[in-house]
Amino acid sequence: MEQLTLLLALFLATVLLAPVSNRLKLPYPVVLLVLGLAIAFVPGLPTPSISPELILPLVLPPLLFAAARRTSWREFWDNRRPIGLLAVALVGVTAFSVGIVLQQLVPGLPLIAAIALGAAVAPPDPVAATAAARDLRLPRRLRTTLEGEGLSNDATSLVLYEVAVAGAITGAFSPWGAAGSLALSVVVGIGTGLVIAVVVRWLLTKLPAHPAGSALVLLMPFAAYGAADMAHGSGVLAVVTLALALSRYADAESAQTRLVSETAWDIIELLVTGAAFAFVGLELRAVAASVPGDLGELVAQALLVTALVIVVRFVWIFLVGTLDQTTRAHKNTESEPVGWRERMIASWAGMRGVVTLAAVLALPPTFPERDRLIFIAFVVIVVTLTLQGTTLPTLVRRLGVHSSPDEEKDMEHELSCRAREAGRQRLDEIRHDGDVDDSLIEEAHDNAEKVWRRLGFDRHDPENRQTADTSSLRATDLEAEVLAAAREAVVSARAEQGMDPTVVDSLLRKLDGHGATPG
């Protein structure tokens, strides 16, 4: 009961402190982390206890799904090269660098065990990355790269982590076996996500949109992660694939399900992330007390590993980024981060978070130097999140790396014009069929125009707040046809090169919100 009470208290603290962090212009995980550090010194407070086997399958799916639904397949593909260099190559370089150095710092620690910690601290947090990119108005190419890295690097790090943990326990490790396991994990993970997406889409056509359809969408990330894990695939990629596959439907049932589930995912993401970071601060003192030896030496080891993680990212991004840009100068690199300013931002945006927490707490109880490794990982999370997370906004402002404030508005206006035109064409098709009276067609057209003006998409006409007349059921049905065609045009734009998925989602939410309520 004490554990449940503590968890509910952390959830409540998250709800209350999230608005405070917005006023302070700080990431809310930082504020919750500081809270956890503070209350760790309260006498008699129960020590949190979580089963290591449940951490990854319970914590990662909702956070990954919530983050992945903000991007698109097309953005992944257009930025596959910079994302791959960060999400695959940099993770491996970081893991082995940390492993080699940590083995020298901790006498008697097997190299493979040290690499396991390196794999756990290698990936930047996807939630922190997407939050930073969204709130700081970074250029789209840089934002896409950081978000894509945050969603993809977990697969590389967790596969390497699992191989290293198994090697540390059994004493056997094969580099070729690790590469084969990674390849198999990627294929099985993506395949599992696609299969479950097909099943979910079929079920959504049979179930009422709310609450059954919304509940199904909330449960499926956990199912995808568990199914992929049982098949020795990447649960991370299965969840990300599922999220991307379910974002491409524009029918009325999807609109209602999407409207409810997106709100639910925002709430889940807030609560789970906040509680997780508060848990890090709360547990740090207890972990430090459980490690034998000098505390000063332990802190020094943790800070050295933290500095190494930060430096390796800087060196990799500047060295490889410069070489890559030089060798590909004759090709189109518009979608890739360019220039030392953008590389500086990308290098400093490597905050560690929930993935590192979940991985290190999942270490088996008999793992070599388990408490020491957990403490080191916790320090990496605390330092990168508080140092980099709080100074990143200042760095962005000083370097002037930001997108034009009119860029998203212009893109949304262009997309809204396309959506309106799609709705008008649908009405013309219905008029041409001759099955509906012209007066109803005109009524539906007038109602649709009132909807567009009410949603603020017409820059030239005066805003009209008058609600549409719903006395005619047929006119309402025609309006639904218009909205469905508009949604279809908006959703299809997600797959187009150069289209920003956040702009698509913003317009789609407004259309969904209108479609879910009487006209």
Average pLDDT over residues 408-415: 72
Q: Give the tens place of pLDDT for each residue, 19-45.
A: 888 787 777 777 888 888 887 777 777
| 517 confidence band (pLDDT: 50, 70, 90) | very low
| 228 confidence band (pLDDT: 50, 70, 90) | very high
pTM of the predicted model as reported, rounded to 2 decimal places: 0.73
Instruction: Give the percent of the chain with pLDDT over 90.
Output: 18
- Check pLDDT > 60 for residue 331: no
Q: How far is CA 365 from the centre of its chain?
A: 30
- Check pLDDT > 70 for residue 429: yes
Q: Give the tens place of pLDDT for each residue, 355-366.
A: 888 888 888 888
Q: Based on C-alpha coordinates, what's the Rg of the chain?
A: 25
| 195 confidence band (pLDDT: 50, 70, 90) | very high
Q: Which amino acid is at 265?
A: W
Question: What is residue 327's predicted lDDT score, i.e. its pLDDT?
Answer: 67
What is the rounded CA–CA span in Å between residue 66 and residue 509? 15
What is the rounded CA–CA span in Å between residue 506 and residue 202? 26
What size, in residues, is the chain?
519
CB 96 within 8 A of CB 102: no
| 129 confidence band (pLDDT: 50, 70, 90) | low
Question: What is residue 315's predicted lDDT score, i.e. its pLDDT?
Answer: 94
Helix-helix angle 28-39:389-399, to 10 degrees: 150
CB 30 within 8 A of CB 390: yes
DSSP 8-25: HHHHHHHHHHHHHHHHHT
Neighbours of 332 (CB within 10 A): 8
301-304: long-range contacts at Cβ-Cβ below 8 A with a sequence spacing of 24 or more? 301/102, 301/105, 301/106, 301/372, 301/376, 302/375, 302/376, 302/378, 302/379, 302/380, 303/379, 303/383, 304/101, 304/105
Domains in the chain (CATH in brackets) are 2-168+268-399 (1.20.1530), 405-515 (no CATH)
Which structure tokens are listed for 225?
Answer: 């992660």
Ranges 62-66, 385-389, 415-419, most confident: 385-389
Q: Give the tens place of pLDDT for each residue, 51-60.
A: 667 777 888 8
What is the rounded CA–CA span in Å between residue 308 and residue 354? 20
Average pLDDT over residues 117-122: 94
- Check pLDDT > 90 for residue 196: yes
Residue in 367, 407, 333, 453 with CA at minimum distance from that of residue 52: 367
Q: Which amino acid is at 401?
A: V
Q: Give the tens place of pLDDT for each residue, 262-296.
A: 778 788 878 887 887 787 777 777 777 778 778 88
DSSP 154-188: HHHHHHHHHHHHHHHHHS---HHHHHHHHHHHHHH
Average pLDDT over residues 242-252: 72
Ranges 334-343, 354-363, 427-436, most confident: 354-363
| 476 confidence band (pLDDT: 50, 70, 90) | low
Question: What is residue 519's predicted lDDT score, i.e. its pLDDT?
Answer: 40
Indicate the range of 16-30, 76-90, 331-345 predicted with least confidence: 331-345
CB 256 within 8 A of CB 209: yes
Backbone angles phi, psi at 247, to 5 degrees: -95, 10
What is the rounded CA–CA span in Å between residue 33 and residue 13? 11
- Check pLDDT > 60 for residue 322: yes
Count, in order, helices (H) and strands (E) of the chain: 22, 0
Give the count of alpha carbons within 13 A of 271, CB side only. Answer: 13
Ranges 106-115, 182-191, 240-249, most confident: 106-115
- Check pLDDT > 60 for residue 222: yes
Residue in 269, 268, 273, 278 with CA at minimum distance from that of residue 10: 278
Question: What is residue 135's predicted lDDT score, i.e. its pLDDT?
Answer: 65
C-alpha distance from residue 466 to each of 283, 364, 413, 449 (Å): 55, 63, 22, 11
| 459 confidence band (pLDDT: 50, 70, 90) | very low
Cβ-Cβ contacts under 8 Å for 425 (sequence gap 6 or more)? 485
CB 161 within 8 A of CB 119: yes
Question: What is residue 458's predicted lDDT score, i.e. its pLDDT?
Answer: 54
| 137 confidence band (pLDDT: 50, 70, 90) | confident
| 74 confidence band (pLDDT: 50, 70, 90) | confident
Backbone angles phi, psi at 125, to 5 degrees: -75, 130
Question: What is residue 470's predicted lDDT score, i.e. its pLDDT?
Answer: 38
Cβ-Cβ contacts under 8 Å for 195 (sequence gap 6 or more)? none
- Check pLDDT > 90 for residue 304: yes
Ranges 92-106, 355-369, 385-399, most confident: 92-106
CB 353 within 8 A of CB 32: no
- Check pLDDT > 60 for residue 392: yes
Question: What is residue 467's predicted lDDT score, i.e. its pLDDT?
Answer: 40
Ranges 26-40, 120-134, 343-357, most confident: 343-357
DSSP 252-298: HHHHHHHHHHHHHHHHHHHHHHHHHHHHHHHHHHHHHHHS-S-HHHH
| 110 confidence band (pLDDT: 50, 70, 90) | very high
- Check pLDDT > 70 for residue 376: yes
